[in-house]
Amino acid sequence: MEPYRLIVLGISTTDIQHFSDRAESAGHLIVGIANAVEQLHDLVKSIRPDIVVVIVDDSKSNYSRVAEICKSNGAALVGAVKSNSESLHPLLKILNAHALFPFETTIDGLELGLICAKLVVKEAAKLIEENLELKDTIETRKLVERAKGILMDRHKLSENDAFKRIHFQARNQNKKMKEIAESIITAAELI
């Protein structure tokens, strides 16, 4: 199993040390430790960890803000509690309600939590990549359709001939059809 780069957020030095020892003995890297939410924000932004582990306690930490930090920086979020701390489970629910990739575990069940979180992040990263590609394809199609309309209107071309002209220019100039379509649209707006 590959090692994960972890940032730990917690108040109790003992809990953080216990967690860090377990993580490092499993071969993971602790790349940062935060004692406050804003400190976590700075660390996550600069280090870009694979996973943020929040050792949930009964402090007044803003767990929805923690989840938002992880979400906006693409980090998985694992909420960890001591195995005997039933009273903290409602706080885990708050944390998970706002998280993009939530997973909860006990400090002693760390390895399973990290594996699950990382698998979810990898799958989500693939979906995000596919989503971006689809958005780009749709944007290209819209621009090409608009450019075809301009060519059809101004040069009295059929839809097929307008498409062929855009395609020919893209091949001829070694550019993408999207770039040619943008040029046609820009030129039409100027004239």
Query: Among all chains, which residue has been given the structure tokens 């780069």?
Result: 5
CATH of the domain at 140: 1.10.10.10
* pLDDT score for 42: 93
Give whole-number Cα distances, 176 to 8, 136, 172, in Å.
45, 12, 10
* pLDDT score for 11: 77
28 and 85 within one domain: yes
111 and 146 within one domain: no
* pLDDT score for 185: 96
Q: Residue 153: which domain range?
A: 130-190
102 and 18 within one domain: yes
* Alpha-carbon span 42 to 69, nearest angstrom: 9
Domain boundary among 102, 124, 146: 124
146 and 114 within one domain: no
How many folded domains does the chain comprise? 2
* pLDDT score for 133: 92
CATH of the domain at 49: 3.40.50.2300
* pLDDT score for 117: 61
* pLDDT score for 4: 82
* pLDDT score for 109: 57
* pLDDT score for 146: 97
Is 0.75 surpassed by the pTM of this model? Answer: no
Domain boundary among 124, 157, 172: 124
112 and 28 within one domain: yes
* pLDDT score for 103: 46
136 and 76 within one domain: no
* pLDDT score for 101: 43
Q: At residue 53, what are phi and psi to the nearest 5 degrees?
A: -105, 125
Query: Among all chains, which residue has been given the structure tokens 């040029």?
Result: 183
119 and 25 within one domain: yes
Helical pair 13-25 and 110-155, crossing angle rounded to 10 deg: 80
Q: Which residues of the chain have pLDDT under 70?
A: 1, 57-61, 81-125
